[in-house]
Amino acid sequence: MGRFDGRTAVVTGAGNGIGRGIALRLAREGAAVGILDNDPLGCERVLHTMMEFGGKGIALPADVSEQGEIRDAIRQLYAAYGAPTLAVHSAGIMPTGTLLETSEKEWDRVHAVNVKGAFLICKEVIPHMLREKKGSIILVSSITGVIGMPGLAAYSSTKGALISLARALAVDYAREGIRVNSIAPGTIDSSMLYDFVAAQNDPQETRRRFDDIQPRGSIGTIEEVVNVVAFLVSDESSLINGANLPVDGGMSIKGQQPRL
């Protein structure tokens, strides 16, 4: 018996990176998973991997910032596997730059994907959870939403917003059996990090600095984040609600950020 046998889940940003890892873990532990991502090929690749180990899922190519696309995606998931009672919003983009270096277009887009996307996915799944009288939602924030980081003004603002949104939803729906939490990963060995490092003047030195500021001397892995999400979304964490859990190896306690 898997922890999530008989449950239906949706994971945004599931075509790659942390979202992919979460979707695959939930499927391995028995959930039927909606693989929601704006990359159709990424969705199909993850679905293929699920099918290889006998998992259940459905590819849901969609832009998380578009209400109609999210509504259609959740309808497809419901028709295929029933009411989604597990949801993880992992979709996110990370433009770089200080406030003065950030264009209005960049600001609007990162908030549309990271924050509006969370709003829209919750708006579609919570009615199903209310009818089922149970649900668990995880919003993937970032340690940048807690301590900030140089050159990530827009991104950091969205990640702080996700922490506050999770707390507000937790209060609103706790009596209906719905829990909402957020996690704040630190520096994780993922494609988002690769893209960020590659954009710097000295990528090799930037990558070295990321390792240097970690209390343990190395950045985190996707699997380490997935382990936390699997616990937090499960019934094993039934008393945890409205929390923001740092998954950063102690980076936020050390209080150092790379100067890039």
Residue pair 131/87 in contact (Cβ under 8 Å)? The answer is no
pLDDT at 24: 98
Supply the mean pLDDT for the chain.
Answer: 93
CA proximity to 220, closest of 174, 172, 186, 180? 186
CA distance 114 to 94: 9
* Predicted confidence (pLDDT) at residue 238 exceeds the cutoff of 70: yes
User: What is the pLDDT, as a whole number, of residue 12?
Assistant: 98
The answer to whether residue 258 scores a pLDDT higher than 70 is no
- The answer to whether residue 59 scores a pLDDT higher than 50 is yes
Taking only the tens place, the pLDDT of each residue in 175-192 is 999 999 999 998 888 777
Catalytic one of 78, 155, 173, 194: 155
161-174 pLDDT, tens digit per residue, is 999 999 999 999 99
Mean pLDDT, rounded, for 21-49: 98
Phi, then psi, of 100 in degrees rounded to 5? -70, -20
**Reported pTM:** 0.93
* Closest among 183, 185, 246 to 210, alpha carbons compared: 185
173 is a catalytic site residue: no
Local confidence band at 260 (pLDDT 50, 70, 90 cut-offs)? very low
Helix (H, G, I), strand (E, B) or coil at 9: strand
Closest CA to 156 of 116, 115, 212: 115
Q: Domain segments of the chain: what residues? A: 8-188+225-243
Question: Above pLDDT 90, what percent of the chain?
Answer: 79
Q: Which class would CATH give 8-188+225-243?
A: alpha beta
- pLDDT value, residue 187: 85
Q: What is the structure's pLDDT at 213?
A: 79
Q: How sure is the predictor about 2, in pLDDT bands with cuts at 50, 70 and 90?
A: very high
Q: Is the pLDDT score of 146 beyond 90? A: yes
